[in-house]
Amino acid sequence: MASDSGLAVNFNSVTRVFGSVRALDGFDLHIAPGELVALLGPSGCGKTTALRILAGLDQATSGRVDVGGRDLTRVPANKRDMGMVFQAYSLFPHLTVLENVAFGLKLRGQDRASRHRRASEVLELVGLSEQGSRYAHQLSGGQQQRVALARALAIEPSVLLLDEPLSALDAKVRSQLRDEIRRVQLEVGTTTLFVTHDQEEALAIADRVGVMNEGHLDQLAAPADLYAQPATRFVAEFVGLNNRVPAVVVSGRAEVLGTEVPTIEGSLAQGPGQALVRPESVTVGRDGGANASVVSVSFLGPISRVYCVIDGGQQVMAQVASSFAVTLQPGDRVTVGVEPTPLLVIAG
Amino acid sequence: MSGSLAWRVFRWTVLLLLAAYFLIPLWSMLDFSTQAPGTQPGRTLEAWRALVEDPALREAIIASLLLALFTVVLMVLLLVPTMVWVRLRVPGASRLVEFLCLLPLTIPALVIVVGIKNVMLWVTYFVGDTPLALTFAYVILVLPYSYRAIDAALSAIDVATLSEAARSLGAGWTTVMVRIVLPNIVPGVLSAAFVSVALVLGEYTFASLLHYDTLPTEIALLGKSQATVSVAASLASLILASALLLGLGLFSRERRTSEGQ
C-alpha cells in the first residue's frame, strides 16, 4: 500500500512516563509512505499516547519521532502539518461546515476563492458537498466526523491521524464511515495512523495492525497474519475469540483433540500446554466417535455458535453454518475436533 | 380552562407588581429630577442638562465610563486565557483559581481598600494619579461575577478538543484564543462584561476611600447640594446599566435564534 504522496513515519524507542505509569515504553513503529496502520489495544495500553505524541499534542519523555526523515520530536503541534480526527466531535461550533474545512487553509494564507474551492473539493470527497452552509449542531454524528475528516484532509497533511473517530457512532454508521475512511485514504494516499480499541474496525481498515500491550507493540502484521498467527498469548487472546484446548507439543507439532497440527512461532517447545483455537477452527460433526455434548446453540444469522463440553469437562465454542447448527439440540452427542491449521500453544 | 385562566391572571398580577416595584421608583426619580426649583410650577430639564454641562459631573461620568471599559478589557485579558490555560494544562488548579476569584466576594470592600491602599500608591506612581488607576482595584472587585459567567460558558464547550483540533490545523495559541475559544464563549464574556460595567458604574466605597472622583462619588456629593442633578445622574446610570443588560438579553436571544436556524 506504499504510495508516493505519503511520508514515512518512525517512532524510535519512544517512552512517555506519567508519574509512576509508563504509558509508552520503548515504543518502536515504522509506517511506510501511504500506509494505513491501526494501533489496537485495550484502554491504557498507550495507543492514544503514541498518536498524540506523533500529533505534537503530547511530548515524549525520551525517544524520537521522524516524519519523512525529519525529526519532529520537539516541533509544536501547529508546525507539524498533520491532519487529525478526534474521538469527540471537534467541529468549531461557530463556523459553518465550509468555514470549518477551510480553517486550516485560511491559517496557511490561502485566498478566499482558493480555500473555498479546496474545501468544496474535499467535502465532495466525503459526500457532503451540499452541507457547506450548515453548522455542526445541524449535522448527525456521522456527518460531523466526515466533515472533521474533510477538514483534516483539506490541508493536505503529511500524516493523517485518526483517534477512535468512529467510537461515538452507532453500529451501522460506524461500518459505513469506516469503509468511507478507507476509500478516501486510498484515494489521497496519505500515510495514516488509526487508533482504535475495536478489533473488527482495525482488521477491516488497516494495511497492518499493531497490537499494543502495556506501552509497547506486541505484534505488527497484516490483519490476516495477525489473526491467523498471533505472536503472543496477549495478541491471541485480544484479537478474535479463542478456545483454550489441552494440547501436547512434540517436536514442533501439537496434538489437539486427536488432530496433529503444526505450532506457530512463540509456542511452547515441548510438553503439555493449552492450544488457542479460533471458534471457526473448531469442527463439530455427528460421525461416530462422539467426544463431546452440545450445551447450547446461539443463532447469529448465517452462522451459529455451538457451545460444547468435551468429555473431561473442557468447554469449547465452535462457529458453524447455521444450516448445520439448527440440527443440533442441547445434550446431543457430537464429535469435536480442530482444523489442521497452525496454532499457538502456550504453557498452562 | 378555569385553571389556565387563574394561572394567567396570577402571572399578570405578579408581572404588574414587579413592574410597579421597579418602575415607580424610576418614575419618581424622573419626576423629581424634572421639577422646577423651589415652589415654582412646571417642568425643567435643568438637572439633566447639568449632566453634560457641569464640568465636574461630566468628568466623573467620562472617568466612570472609561473605568468600566478598561476594567472589562483587563478582566477579559486576564481571566479568559488564565481559565482556558487552567482547563487545558493544570485542571488540578481549577479549584484554587476559583477560590481566588471568589475571594473578593467574601471580603468587605472596606477591608480590601485598606489592604490595597499601599499597592495603589505604587499603581499611581506608575500610571499617574488618575481615577483610571482604580481599574486595577475594580478588576479584583468584578472577578467573582466574571469568573462565574466565563466558567459557565467554558463548561458548555469542549475547550480541550477544540483547541487541539485548531492546533493540529496550524493555529498558534493566540489564534486558538481569538478565533476558536472567544467566539464560542461570547455570551459568557458579554455577561461578565455587563455585570462588570454595572458594578463599576455603581461602585462607591473604593472610589470614595481612595479619593477619586467617579460618577457615584459625584452623585453623592451633588446629593448634598443639588439633589435634582444627583437624582438625574443616578437615573441616567440606572438606565445605562439596564440598557446594557437588555442588550445582552436581546443579543443572546438573537444568537440562539440564528444558530437554531
Picking from A77, A89, A93, the nearest residue to B168 by CB comes out as A77
Report the amino acid identity of residue A251: S
CB contact under 8 A, A151 and B169: yes
What is the arithmetic mean of pLDDT over A318-333?
92
Touching check for B185 and chain A: CB below 8 Å? no
CB contact under 8 A, A92 and B166: yes
pLDDT on residue B35: 87
Task: Count CB-CB contacts under 10 A for residue B256.
Answer: 11
Domains and CATH numbers, chain A: 9-233 (3.40.50.300), 241-347 (2.40.50.100)
Touching check for B161 and chain A: CB below 8 Å? yes
Alpha-carbon span A14 to A26, nearest angstrom: 5
CB contact under 8 A, B162 and A92: yes
Interface of A with B in 204-263 (CB under 8 A): none
CB contact under 8 A, A161 and B168: yes
* Cα dihedral sign, A170-A173-A179-A185: negative
Q: pTM value?
A: 0.79
Interface of B with A in 48-77 (CB under 8 A): none
CATH class of the region B46-260: mainly alpha
Phi, psi at B195, each rounded to 5°: -65, -40
A323: Cβ contacts below 8 Å, ≥ 6 apart: none
pLDDT on residue A2: 43
Touching check for B184 and chain A: CB below 8 Å? yes
Distance (Å) from the C-alpha of residue B258 to the closest C-alpha of chain A?
Answer: 11
Least CA distance to B169: which residue of chain A? A104
Taking only the tens place, the pLDDT of each residue in B56-76 is 888 888 899 899 999 999 999
Chain center to CA of A290: 39
Distance (Å) from the C-alpha of residue A105 to the closest C-alpha of chain B?
Answer: 8
Touching check for B177 and chain A: CB below 8 Å? no
Least CA distance to B255: which residue of chain A? A94
Distances (CA, A) of A51 to A18, A83, A235, B29: 16, 12, 20, 66
3-state secondary structure A281-348: HEEEECCCCCCEEEEEEEECCCEEEEEEEECCCCEEEEEEEHHHHCCCCCCCEEEEEECCCCEEEECC
Sole residue written with cell 475528516: A149
Taking only the tens place, the pLDDT of each residue in B184-194 is 998 899 889 98
Cβ-Cβ contacts under 8 Å, A86 against chain B: 161, 164-165
Alpha-carbon span A33 to A21, nearest angstrom: 32
Q: How many residues does chain B have?
A: 261
The set of cell numbers assigned to A301 is: 444469522
Q: How many residues does chain A have?
A: 348
The residue extents of the domains of chain B are: 1-32, 46-260
The set of cell numbers assigned to B224 is: 448634598
The set of cell numbers assigned to A270 is: 515441548
Taking only the tens place, the pLDDT of each residue in A238-283 is 887 788 888 999 988 999 988 899 998 888 888 999 899 989 899 9
Q: What is the mean pLDDT of chain B?
A: 88
Distance (Å) from the C-alpha of residue A35 to the closest C-alpha of chain B?
Answer: 20
Q: Is residue B2 very low, low, confident or very high in pLDDT (cuts 50, 70, 90)?
A: low
CB contact under 8 A, A77 and B157: no
Picking from A86, A108, A148, the nearest residue to B170 by CB comes out as A108
Alpha-carbon span B261 to B251, nearest angstrom: 15
Distances (CA, A) of A300 to A31, A170, A175, A281, A320: 37, 19, 18, 17, 10
Picking from B164, B172, B175, the nearest residue to A57 by CB comes out as B164
pLDDT of residue B261 exceeding 60: no
Q: Is residue B3 very low, low, confident or very high in pLDDT (cuts 50, 70, 90)?
A: low
The set of cell numbers assigned to B129 is: 494619579
The DSSP annotation for A8-68 comes to -EEEEEEEEEETTEEEEEEEEEEE-TT-EEEEE--TTSSHHHHHHHHHTSS--SEEEEEET
Interface of B with A in 98-157 (CB under 8 A): 157
Q: At what angle do helices A112-125 and A97-107 cross, to 10 degrees?
A: 130
Touching check for B158 and chain A: CB below 8 Å? yes
Q: Is A247 exposed, middle or buried (0-12, 13-18, 19+ CB in 10 A)?
A: buried
Taking only the tens place, the pLDDT of each residue in B144-184 is 999 999 999 999 999 999 999 999 999 999 999 999 999 99
In chain B, which residue ranges form alpha helices assigned H by DSSP?
2-33, 46-53, 55-88, 94-106, 109-127, 134-155, 159-168, 173-175, 182-184, 186-202, 205-209, 215-225, 227-260
pLDDT of residue B29 exceeding 90: yes
User: How many residue pairs from chains A and B have C-beta atoms closer than 8 A?
Assistant: 66
Alpha-carbon span A329 to A326, nearest angstrom: 8
Sole residue written with cell 498452562: A348
CB contact under 8 A, A84 and B164: yes
Taking only the tens place, the pLDDT of each residue in A128-178 is 888 889 999 999 998 999 999 999 999 989 999 999 998 888 888 888 888
